């Protein structure tokens, strides 16, 4: 009996180690040596996780980096840490609350009035497990933070983006595969998981329609799945669930620097313009999920989003 238990334990351990090695081997890495000196990049949710790692990478490449964050203390700390690590003093933070369209509009106005150019926009900020909270705009908070505010922000910054060849990178998730959008009930709360999945599918559909509308311009757009990563997105889970998930992720999934690789790749890799509107994972183009293959749905989501955010431009 002891030998059987030892053998079973050894087999389990070997399987887990093999899986961990597989994850490490298949994780895509951005190997581009592109220099970003003279360019400006803006990343939402840049004070932590993959947003922070993306901002850090851009700063190392010499870019002017704008951290778009909600919490001033944490934004300032992240900004100072990036400058310390990179010796790049052209790193700033600007405050924005993605749960408020008023805040997004004020933020966009500030960027448009103070920045001469914007070469990279990474719509990275995300939230989960916030329950059936409604924002001041009377929308489910997860859907507004993850999607609607990024939709509004992107459109408000388009004129600045069009001044130079630029890229828009929308961070989605593999959970979008499970999405099933009904325009009539798009903003109806059906649970945290549904809201999160819907928001991430909307990001992909937004990318597709945005790319179509930006044809014959010098602006391109990309969506991506960064992988399952140890980030603060799980901070609102019950304590025991959070500990279990983070334990598993710590062992088997990506670190924040690894998780940032695909959005860095989409933002800087040479020659990606022909893939505008496409979806990426592990630094390569992947097939669109079945849930995101209907161009009419992408158009319908865009039009409904314009109505919801009050976009008149």
| Structure tokens, 226 | 């960064």
- Rounded CA gap, 219 and 229, in Å? 29
Cβ 24 vs Cβ 48: under 8 Å: no
Looking at 117-222, list the stretches that DSSP marks H as alpha helix, in order from N- to C-terminal side. 141-143, 149-156, 158-161, 192-213
- Confirm whether 17 is domain-assigned: no
pLDDT tens string 267-276? 999 999 999 9
Mean pLDDT of 278-292: 97
- Confirm whether 7 is domain-assigned: no
Q: How confident is the model at residue 231 (pLDDT cuts 50, 70, 90)?
A: low
Q: What are phi and psi of 187, to 5 degrees?
A: -100, 15
- Confirm whether 106 is domain-assigned: yes
196 counts as catalytic? yes
- Rounded CA gap, 61 and 37, in Å? 7
- Give the domain extent around 301: 35-309
- Confirm whether 14 is domain-assigned: no
Q: What total number of domains does the chain contain?
A: 1
pLDDT at 289: 97
- Rounded CA gap, 257 and 74, in Å? 19
pLDDT tens string 24-52? 556 789 999 999 999 999 999 999 999 99
Q: How confident is the model at residue 304 (pLDDT cuts 50, 70, 90)?
A: very high
- Confirm whether 9 is domain-assigned: no
Cβ 179 vs Cβ 205: under 8 Å: no
Paired residues of 218 in beta bridges: none
- Confirm whether 22 is domain-assigned: no
One DSSP character per residue, 91-103 reads EEEEE--TT-HHH
Q: How confident is the model at residue 129 (pLDDT cuts 50, 70, 90)?
A: confident
Paired residues of 93 in beta bridges: 67
| CATH number of the domain to which 58 belongs | 3.40.50.720
pLDDT at 234: 54
- Confirm whether 5 is domain-assigned: no
- Rounded CA gap, 197 and 177, in Å? 8
Cα dihedral angle (161, 163, 166, 167), rounded to 10 degrees? 20
- Confirm whether 13 is domain-assigned: no
pLDDT at 312: 72
**Does pLDDT of 265 surpass 70?**
yes
- Rounded CA gap, 26 and 43, in Å? 26
Active-site pick, 52, 147, 196, 222: 196
Ranking 83-97, 149-163, 206-220, 222-236 by mean pLDDT, the lowest is 222-236
**Pairwise pLDDT comparison (128 vs 187), residue with the higher score:** 187
């Amino acid at each position: 009996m002891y030998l059987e238990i030892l053998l079973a334990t050894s087999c389990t351990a070997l399987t887990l180690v093999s899986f961990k090695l597989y994850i490490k081997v298949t994780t895509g890495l951005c190997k581009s040596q592109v220099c970003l000196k003279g360019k400006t990049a803006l990343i939402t949710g840049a004070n932590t996780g993959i947003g922070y790692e993306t901002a850090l990478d851009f700063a190392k490449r010499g870019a002017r980096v704008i951290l778009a964050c909600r919490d001033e203390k944490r934004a300032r700390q992240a900004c100072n840490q990036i400058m310390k690590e990179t010796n790049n003093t052209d790193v700033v933070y600007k405050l924005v609350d993605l749960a408020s369209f008023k805040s997004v509009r004020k933020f966009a106005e500030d960027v448009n009035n103070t920045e001469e150019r914007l070469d990279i926009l990474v719509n990275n900020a995300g939230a989960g497990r916030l329950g059936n909270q409604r924002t001041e705009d009377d929308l489910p908070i997860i859907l507004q933070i993850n999607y609607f505010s990024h939709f509004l922000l992107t459109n408000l910054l388009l004129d600045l983006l069009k001044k130079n060849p630029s890229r828009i990178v929308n961070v989605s998730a593999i959970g979008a595969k499970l999405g099933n959008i009904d325009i009539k009930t798009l903003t109806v709360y059906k649970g945290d998981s549904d809201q999160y999945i819907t928001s991430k599918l909307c990001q992909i559909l937004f990318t597709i329609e945005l790319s179509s509308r930006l044809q014959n311009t010098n602006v391109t757009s990309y969506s991506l799945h960064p992988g399952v990563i140890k980030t603060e997105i799980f901070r609102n889970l019950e304590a025991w669930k959070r500990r279990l998930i983070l334990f598993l992720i710590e062992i088997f999934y990506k670190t924040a620097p690894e998780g940032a690789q695909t959005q860095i790749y989409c933002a800087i890799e040479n020659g990606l313009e022909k893939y505008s509107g496409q979806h990426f994972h592990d630094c390569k183009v992947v097939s669109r999920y079945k849930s995101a293959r209907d161009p009419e749905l992408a158009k319908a989501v865009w039009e409904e989003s314009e109505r919801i955010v009050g976009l008149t431009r």
